[in-house]
Chain A
Amino acid sequence: MIEVRDLTKRYGDAVAVDGLSFTVRPGRVTGFLGPNGAGKSTTLRMILGLDAPTRGRALVNDRPYASMRYPLREVGALLDAGAVHPSRSAYHHLLGIAVTNGIGARRVREVLARTGLEQVARRGVGRFSLGMKQRLGIAGALLGDPPVLLFDEPVNGLDPEGVHWIRGLMKDLAAEGRTVLISSHLMSEMAVTADHLVIIGRGRLVADQPTAEFLGDNARTDVLVRTSQPAALAGLLRGAGAAVAEEPGGALAVSGLEPASIGDLAATHRLGVHELTVRHASLEQAFMDVTGDAVDYRAARTGAAAMFRRKQT
């Protein structure tokens, strides 16, 4: 279990993390979500005792990380897959970490096997692809067989096969009863990987709830209706209690009524309906909606949304 209480980090006048409190529980994958620059990595570094908080604290299994005698046996972390010495082999990179916590060469070979790196174990990691470095970073996190795991943007730079592999691994680790926290700026990725979401924007907590609940609360559904007489149908729909908004091209965006009711209503009044489409707001949109006010961009909200979408492509 990871407990973050009132965690705050200031750099001069800038506040990177601002009074953040949340708890990460075992047995499920928790997605730690936020736009780039929201303070995710800073928070993870504070949990690991690498950065000192300005205020507040982070506890892992009720203890500060820095007080642990063999931290790798309690917490495994992947912070930056590229943070490896290029001329050191994968095997020696892992061995150098392992021996500090009394973990032997046999375990190093085990994690190399679990991450599919046995064949390249003796090769210098400078020649590794980003995907292989991610696997190496994950191997390092698994060394101590820890009950708590933190991964900072683990799917960055992975091909679809690698992404699929990571998803499976995260779910397996959680199913084994471990606490798994994955940071990401990709809502769509977390929607399929995470059971629970902790969402931050500008260093502040904006949501902490089960993924399904978050999507239910935030993902709006409406019905796009095209008709020969939009004004007449809009009046009828409003009369039936629906909210109606006009869209460009004379289409109506209707919420509060099922497609069947809308069709029946139009048929009763002999209005021709050309299109009835149920629209689900995308996950990105739901994410944008909750972090929108918190996104640290000077641009107007639409501009920020466009920037955010661009970053994901």
Chain B
Amino acid sequence: MTAPTTRGALAGEWVKLRSVRATYLSALVALAAALFIGLIDYGSAADNWDAWTAEQRARFDPVRYGFSGGFYVAVLAIGTLGTLAASSEYTTGQIRTTLAAVPRRGQVLAAKALVVGGASTLLGQVLAFLTFLLGQRAIDGKHLAVSLSAPGVLRAVVGCGVFLSAFALIGLALGFVIRHTAGAVAALFGLFFLSPMLLAPFGDGVSRFGLQSAFEGLGTTVASAGGDTRLGAAGCFAALAAYLAAALTAAALTLSRRDA
């Protein structure tokens, strides 16, 4: 019986991930966009709160608000980071060296998934919590801030971070399937933005299973802010897991069956 992966394969993937500029660049872009744009958004909400209509106020979700603007850039940046971990191997030809060093291909996929998953989980949770905590400070003056202990808040913050990890892994899987950076990144972004639209013809109930809808559902804490049209947290996590499982299965099949 073959080990799912080896310590050596993990170490190799970790060296590769930390030794390219693109990794740091994606992380920096994600951090800067989520925090900078997030703070501006919260600031303008605090400034304009007094002028908002009752309806606007009812629709204000103090948690989801931080995950709706600059955080999208973070989603795409972390997704790109994951995609590149696989696609750049094919674009450069490095994959042959990688597979010659670790001929059991499943071990390469598992090692990459664990390393990318670990890095994006750390990054994702830091981003999600910083976005939330800094945002709440900005609206505290208007007494709009909620605490992590309020119902559903911790789950929403952690969930948005988890989405980042899962999205990076879906990107990684697409990189293995498509074997080309531009194509894989385009497919990943397309899947995120277009999946709700592509599912829309099957009805609102189905379009809630789109990837972007699942992300929005995960960050939602106020029902009147659109929560009633989205899947609940459990549904969102399940949808996300389904996307992830499908993508990783496709990657495993492609990697094991096609010539390198």
With beta carbons under 8 angstroms apart, the residue of B13, B19, B93, B101 that contacts A89 is B19
Q: Are B100 and A85 in contact (CB under 8 A)?
A: no
Whether A48 is near chain B, meaning CB under 8 Å from some CB there, is: yes
- The answer to whether A84 touches B92, judged by C-beta atoms less than 8 angstroms apart, is yes
Cβ-based interface call for B122 (8 A): no
Q: A235 in the interface, Cβ–Cβ < 8 Å?
A: no
Q: Is the CB of A88 within 8 A of B16?
A: yes
Does B102 reach chain A (CB closer than 8 Å)?
yes
B interface, size bucket:
20 to 34
Query: Which of B4-12, B34-42, B48-56, B193-201 contacts its partner?
Result: B4-12
Q: How far is the CB of B257 from chain A (nearest CB, A)?
A: 9
One of A45, A82, A87, A102 near B259 (C-beta < 8 A): A45
Are A85's CB and B20's CB within 8 A? yes
Q: Across the interface, do B104 and A66 meet the contact criterion of CB distance under 8 Å?
A: yes
Given contacts A50-B99, A51-B260, A66-B103, contact A88 B11 (CB under 8 A): no
A140 within 8 A of B: yes
CB contact between B101 and one of A79, A85, A100 (< 8 Å): that residue: A100
Nearest CB of chain B from residue A141's CB, rounded to whole Å: 10
Query: Any chain B CB within 8 A of the CB of A86?
Result: yes
CA distance A102 to B22 in the complex (A): 26
A149 located at the interface, meaning its Cβ lies under 8 Å from any Cβ of chain B in the complex: no
Of the listed stretches A90-98, A189-197, A284-292, A299-307, name the one at the interface; the rest are far from the partner chain. Answer: A90-98
CB atoms of B103 and A97 under 8 A apart: no
Instruction: Please judge, given known A-B contacts A50-B260, A95-B15, A96-B15, whether A77 and B100 are in contact too, CB under 8 Å.
Output: yes
Give CA–CA (A87, B8) in the complex, Å.
Answer: 22
- Report the Cα distance A71→B103, complex, angstroms: 8
Bound together, the chains give a CA A266 to CA B6 distance in angstroms of 79
Q: Is B88 an interface residue (CB 8 A)?
A: yes
Report how far A154 CA is from B134 CA in the complex, Å: 56
Q: Which residues of A contact B260 (CB under 8 A)?
A: 45, 50-51
Which residues of A are found within 8 Å of B13, using beta-carbon distances? 96
> Which of A66, A72, A100 meets B11, CB within 8 Å?
A100
What's the Cα separation between A66 and B253 when bound, in Å? 17
Given contacts A45-B259, A52-B259, A83-B94, contact A88 B19 (CB under 8 A): yes
Flag whether A188 is at the interface (Cβ < 8 A): no
List B contacts of A48 (CB < 8 A): 96, 100
Q: Count the A residues whose beta carbon is within 8 Å of the partner chain — how many?
A: 34
Q: How far is the CA of A73 from the CA of B128 in the complex (A)?
A: 44
Bound together, the chains give a CA A82 to CA B92 distance in angstroms of 8
Given A51-B260, A84-B92, A84-B94, do A102 and B8 touch, yes or no (CB 8 Å)?
yes
Task: Report the Cα distance A102→B12, complex, angstroms.
Answer: 10
Interface assignment of A80: CB less than 8 Å from any CB of chain B: yes
Q: Within 8 Å of chain A (Cβ to Cβ): is B143?
A: no
Q: Which chain B residue has the least Cβ–Cβ distance from A89? A: B19
Please tell me if the beta carbons of A71 and B100 are within 8 angstroms of each other in the complex.
yes
Contact B12 A99 (CB under 8 A): yes
**A95 vs B93: C-alpha distance in the bound complex, in angstroms?**
17
Contacts of B94 in A (CB 8 A): 83-85
Smallest Cβ-Cβ distance to B9: which chain A residue: A100
Query: How far apart sit A49 and B15, CA to CA, in the bound complex (Å)?
Result: 24
| Interface contacts beyond A66-B103, A96-B12, A100-B6: sample of 17 additional A-B pairs, CB < 8 Å, sorted by A | A48-B96, A49-B100, A50-B96, A50-B259, A65-B103, A75-B100, A79-B97, A79-B100, A83-B97, A84-B92, A86-B92, A88-B16, A96-B19, A99-B11, A100-B9, A100-B102, A101-B101
Q: What are 10 A-B pairs with beta-carbon distances under 8 A?
A: A48-B100, A71-B100, A71-B103, A79-B97, A83-B92, A84-B94, A86-B92, A88-B16, A99-B15, A100-B8
B residues lining the A interface (CB < 8 Å): 6, 8-9, 11-13, 15-16, 19-22, 88, 92-94, 96-104, 259-260
> Which residues of A are at the interface with B, using a C-beta cutoff of 8 A?
45, 48-52, 65-68, 71-72, 75, 77, 79-80, 82-89, 92-93, 95-97, 99-102, 140
